[in-house]
């Protein structure tokens, strides 16, 4: 046991490509797009700031709009790291009288941020002891090692891991395994040339990992920041609470339907799968499992904490009657603290988690989350959302399902060029006001907007998983765009239909009815 712990301790430092990140490149040059974004955003900000306030909007609302335009422009162009842009309200809102510093800073400590913090720490513990890798390899081995089965196994593994850890980390974990499998496929071709069937297998496998990681994150509140951002927004703006279990009752059905769509579109439509056999595939997966060795005691303990935390999240609606004040965020921090308290080797002072492991935590995501909530709160509080929403009253004459479809299409195309969290932060307060303005529950538009923001599949810049698999060199941008466009259309239609017919029933949304609780 001591040897096992020692080996794990030696390997516990994650390599750079396994660390959480925001999909940002610290050494990226300040090119023409960033210069255009920097100058253009600043010019628009100053122009709005010193122009007259539009009729029907308060001065604070117009200044909020100026800050929102600046932030949106810098987010899209990534002038500075997107988490850095998220800090702008702390400087600009108090200076321009939008809100005092206490009001501005409060959302940066929103309970949802602590839900994510706890979730990230649990995810890092899974990575430290290689539990995530064991789960993924066993899923792939269980499903089978025929080419189509391998793709299905990677889809399920990527999606499941992305429900509980960062989709970036889930993709990073699956990438080296997938590249090794692709090499087996190339070796299987005796002619030495890359045949179409092998090419299609490689393309499908890599894209399946990225797309499944994106969609899998929709299954839980902690799967992607956009989920928690929306839940925090509707709670703050409309006093509408969505629990961890309630979101899973919405997210899991979409994941269960969406993953087969990804599999079918990639293997039968975009890149038809004709490869029937992969020599050595089974042996490779078995070899990787054997390299992990017998499941260790630390892995078992981390798995126990993970399961306990998940069970508490799902049963909180019942437990809160016995433990008033119990929250999803409190449960997440409880699970994280257990990891620091449970010893692996007490004599050597080795515990399941060390603080230096947590130093790799994606703090930028938490800052972005707080900045998004601060911006959304100001847009709502100053009347800007209601003012902008007035220009969308035309949607009131459309069929509701068509309104959802059009809004979802706009959001998914916008997200191809900007962070999904930034997109959600900018659009949610406006979309909420549009819904109320045409006599609908804000959740009817907020839920699909949140979901399609994570379903941008066309471009590498759309999501970190897209960028990671594109960086492997296996595919070109046209190939990714070809598959991504097909899936964008599929998921816009799928999310629209599920929102109208399924999610509305699960969340108690009545079409054509605004809850009395949020009426002025």
- Calpha distance 199→435 (Å, rounded): 46
- Calpha distance 510→515 (Å, rounded): 9
DSSP reduced 3-state for 197: helix
Please identify every stretch of the chain with a pLDDT value under 70, giving residue numbers as ranges.
1-29, 185-196, 278-281, 417-418, 516-520
Predicted TM-score (pTM) of this structure: 0.76
Residue 4: per-residue pLDDT: 43
Task: List the beta bridge partners of residue 350.
Answer: 345
Residue 142: per-residue pLDDT: 83
DSSP reduced 3-state for 26: coil
User: Which DSSP letter does residue 481 get?
Assistant: H
Is residue 339 within 8 Å of residue 306, measured between CB atoms?
no
Residue 339: per-residue pLDDT: 96
Residue among 170, 265, 266 nearest 464 (CA):
170
- Calpha distance 331→244 (Å, rounded): 11
pLDDT mean across residues, the chain: 85
Query: What residues does each domain of the chain span?
Result: 112-359
- What does the pLDDT look like over 329-360, one tens digit per residue? 899 999 999 999 999 999 999 999 999 988 87
Residue 180: per-residue pLDDT: 78
Residue 220: per-residue pLDDT: 92
Residue 216: per-residue pLDDT: 95
Residue 25: per-residue pLDDT: 39
Residue 53: per-residue pLDDT: 93
- Cα dihedral sign for 322, 326, 332, 338? negative
Residue 6: per-residue pLDDT: 44
Residue 47: per-residue pLDDT: 96
| Alpha-carbon Rg for the chain in angstroms | 23
Residue 18: per-residue pLDDT: 40
Residue 72: per-residue pLDDT: 84
């Amino acid at each position: 046991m001591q040897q096992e712990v020692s080996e794990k301790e030696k390997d516990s430092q994650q390599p750079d490509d396994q660390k959480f990140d925001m999909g940002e490149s610290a050494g990226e040059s300040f090119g023409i797009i960033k210069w255009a974004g920097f100058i253009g955003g600043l010019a628009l900000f100053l122009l709005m700031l010193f122009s007259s306030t539009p009729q029907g909007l308060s001065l604070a609302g117009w200044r909020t709009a100026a800050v929102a335009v600046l932030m949106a422009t810098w987010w899209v162009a990534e002038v500075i790291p997107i988490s850095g842009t998220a800090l702008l309200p702390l400087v600009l809102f108090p200076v321009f009288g939008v809100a005092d510093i206490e009001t501005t800073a409060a959302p940066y400590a929103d309970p949802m941020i602590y839900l994510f913090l706890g979730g990230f720490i649990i995810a890092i513990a899974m990575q430290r002891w290689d539990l995530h890798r064991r789960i993924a390899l066993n899923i792939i081995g269980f499903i089978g090692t025929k080419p189509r089965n391998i793709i299905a196994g990677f889809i399920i593994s990527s999606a499941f891991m992305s429900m509980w850890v960062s989709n970036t980390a889930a993709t990073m974990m699956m990438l080296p395994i997938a590249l090794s499998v692709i090499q087996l496929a190339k070796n299987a071709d005796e002619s030495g040339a890359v045949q179409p069937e092998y090419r299609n297998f490689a393309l499908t496998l890599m894209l399946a990992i990225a797309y499944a990681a994106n969609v899998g994150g929709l299954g839980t509140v902690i799967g992607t920041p956009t989920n928690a951002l929306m839940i925090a927004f509707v709670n703050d703006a409309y006093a509408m609470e969505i629990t961890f279990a309630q979101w899973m009752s919405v997210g899991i059905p979409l994941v269960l339907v969406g993953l087969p769509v990804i599999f079918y579109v990639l293997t039968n439509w975009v890149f038809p799968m004709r490869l029937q056999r992969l020599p050595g595939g089974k042996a490779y997966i078995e070899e990787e499992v054997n390299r992990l060795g017998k499941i260790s005691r630390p892995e078992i303990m981390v798995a126990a904490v993970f399961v306990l935390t998940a069970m508490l999240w799902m049963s909180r609606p019942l437990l809160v009657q016995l433990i008033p004040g119990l929250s999803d965020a409190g449960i997440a921090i409880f699970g994280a603290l257990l990891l620091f308290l449970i010893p692996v080797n007490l004599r050597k002072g080795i515990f399941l988690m060390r603080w230096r492991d947590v130093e790799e935590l994606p703090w930028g995501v938490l800052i972005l989350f707080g900045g998004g909530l601060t911006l959304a709160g100001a847009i709502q509080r100053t009347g800007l959302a209601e003012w902008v929403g007035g220009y969308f009253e035309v949607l009131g004459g459309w069929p509701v399902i068509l309104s959802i479809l059009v809004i979802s299409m706009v959001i998914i195309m916008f997200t191809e060029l900007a962070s999904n969290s930034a997109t959600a932060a900018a659009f949610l307060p406006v979309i909420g006001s549009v819904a109320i303005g045409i006599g609908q529950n804000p959740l009817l538009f907020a839920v699909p907007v949140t979901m399609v923001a994570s379903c941008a599949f066309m471009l590498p810049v759309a999501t970190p998983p897209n960028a990671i698999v594109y960086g492997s060199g296996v595919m070109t941008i046209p190939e990714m765009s070809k598959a991504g466009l097909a899936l964008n259309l599929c998921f816009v239609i799928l999310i629209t239909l599920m929102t109208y017919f399924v999610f509305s029933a699960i969340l108690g949304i009545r079409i054509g009815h605004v809850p009395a609780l949020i009426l002025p």
